[in-house]
């Protein structure tokens, strides 16, 4: 029953704004992560001072999971997760630090994940847990 409601809501949202791939991707990622045991507690978190946005915030056990969702209509120009570069990571860390501080979570209990979605039929969803370290940038070229 609940799946039917989710699908109906997705269909209505897609009809109202068919070009909003980001919102559709976040909906798909939200449900995918819930099935994997992540409890989502916030969506589109922005620190009050600006400087980044966390698409999904959740808990997996004692770990605060901060998720960047990347969605593309096709993989013609590469997979979506490749769009998370060093600058994006810096913004995510900034927003993540703010959320963790406000939630009273130790920085060592924070993880950054990426969910990559290609809107094929059916959609292709790939989850990258611990996609990058909270305190260290990825080496160049990765």
Token pair for residue 84?
A: 């998370």
Q: State the pLDDT at residue 50.
A: 80
pTM: 0.81
Which residues does residue 66 pair with via DSSP β-bridges, in sequence order? 57, 112
* DSSP structure string for 46-77: --TT-S--EEEEEEETTEEEEEEEEEES-STT
What are the structural domain ranges in the chain? 21-132
Residue 78's SS3 state is coil
Assigned fold of 21-132: Trna Endonuclease; Chain: A, domain 1 (3.40.1350)
Q: State the pLDDT at residue 77.
A: 82
Instruction: Using the structure block, give the residue that is written with the tokens 């370290």.
Output: 133
Q: State the pLDDT at residue 20.
A: 63
Tens digit of pLDDT at every position of the chain (142 positions): 666 665 666 666 555 455 567 789 999 999 999 999 999 999 999 999 887 899 999 999 999 999 999 999 888 888 989 989 999 999 999 999 999 999 999 999 999 999 999 999 999 999 999 999 887 655 455 4
CA distances (Å), origin 52, targets 4, 77, 122: 33, 25, 30
Q: State the pLDDT at residue 9.
A: 63
Q: State the pLDDT at residue 135.
A: 78
Q: State the pLDDT at residue 64.
A: 97
Helices marked H in the chain: 2-16, 21-35, 86-103
Q: State the pLDDT at residue 52.
A: 85
């Amino acid at each position: 029953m609940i799946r039917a409601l989710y699908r109906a809501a997705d269909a209505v949202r897609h009809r109202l704004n068919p070009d909003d791939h980001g919102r559709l991707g976040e909906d798909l990622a939200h449900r995918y992560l819930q099935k994997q045991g992540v409890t989502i507690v916030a969506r589109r978190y922005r620190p009050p001072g600006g400087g980044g946005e966390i698409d999904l915030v959740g808990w997996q056990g004692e770990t605060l999971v901060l998720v960047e969702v990347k969605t593309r209509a096709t993989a013609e120009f590469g997979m979506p997760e490749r769009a998370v570069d060093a600058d994006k990571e810096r913004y995510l860390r900034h927003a993540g630090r703010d959320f963790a501080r406000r939630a009273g979570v130790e920085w060592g209990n924070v993880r950054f994940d990426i969910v990559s979605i290609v809107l094929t039929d059916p959609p292709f969803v790939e989850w990258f847990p611990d996609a990058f370290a909270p305190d260290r940038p990825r080496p160049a070229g990765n």
